[in-house]
Structure 1
């Protein structure tokens, strides 16, 4: 890196303004609440892992069921901070599992226009672009509905 001190100074100045801290903390709290709601509503169908924070680029949690576990797969509900949208990722437990399922799924609708396997997953599909954070209850419902609709479609594809 050319001049880390320069970037750290900019970072520090932005944090002092407070807007980034408030936004980031509120976004993480929202994903945490969303996870809690999913556990309440869907724990009979899926198990949910804890919240993971990327490097201010992604906030996400994994979820899976017995079928997925038997295939060494899991899903992630991802808040992509850079694009500010919600995505579903299908992931393998290892790189070799991911490569295997990438080959199986690279020409599906979920990987449309994708020519290379994503860095961290088998597929990454957008479930909500341009979320409205001013109505968190409605946003939660939108995400949950789309999340499990897409999840079930992918699971059905994998089963057949």
Structure 2
């Protein structure tokens, strides 16, 4: 395992090339634009707070559709930097809500989405792949793909909750 000093030397070397800064800035700008898009396109959704930029591990923002708000649930649109993919997470507004819905989904035998293994230390009830290998050269297309995936996920969750919740 590399020492911190060795990692910093590698980090500096990569920064000198300039591509990491451009990619990171571009990803964050896209996520901020995506967040704004949902805020404007779906006024019935609450899009709280800002963008969590993370430590180059993940960056995300939250969406709270009105149908989930009453249940104290929210959706997180998450970009996983190392894997370069988008995920969608179902989460509770607090650990108590999260544990309650995790148990409901786990006990239901629902197979469309698998709950996380445990709520201990987890930020989500469900973590699901939204989009692998996104094309950042086609931002309108990327926005459309993500929007369709989010809408499907929300509909699936709403349908499940209408029967089980």
Q: Aligning the two structures, in what range does the TM-score lie when normalised by the shorter sequence? A: 0.7 to 0.9
Q: Distance in 1 between matches of 2:85 and 2:154?
A: 17
Please, which of 147, 157, 161 is the counterpart of residue 158 of structure 1? 161
Query: Alignment RMSD, CA only?
Result: 1.9
Does residue 48 of structure 1 match 2:47? yes
For the Cα contact (< 8 Å) 2:116–2:126, is it kept in 1? no
Q: TM-score, normalised by structure 2?
A: 0.86
After superposition, give the CA deviation of every residue in 1:47-69 in whole Å (9 maximum; x if it has no partner). Answer: 10211111111111101134423
- Establish whether residue 38 from structure 1 lines up as the match of residue 38 from structure 2: yes
Q: What displacement does 1:72 show? A: 2.0
> Which has the higher mean CA deviation after the structures are superposed, 136-145 or 67-76?
67-76
| 1:117–1:123 Cα contact (<8 Å) kept | no
The 8 Å contact of residues 85 and 131 in structure 1, kept in 2 or not, is answered as: yes
Q: Paired residue for 1:71?
A: 71
Alignment of 1:10-159 (within 5 A): 10-43=10-43, 45-49=44-48, 50-106=50-106, 107-108=109-110, 109-111=112-114, 116-117=117-118, 119-159=122-162
Shift of 1:28: 0.7
- The count of aligned residue pairs is 157
Q: Residues of 2 paired with 1:10 and 1:79: CA distance?
A: 23
Query: Which structure 2 segments of 5+ residues have no match?
Result: none
Q: Extract structure 1 runs of 4+ deviating beyond 6 A.
A: none
Q: TM-score, normalised by structure 1?
A: 0.88
Q: Which structure 1 segments of 5+ residues have no match?
A: none
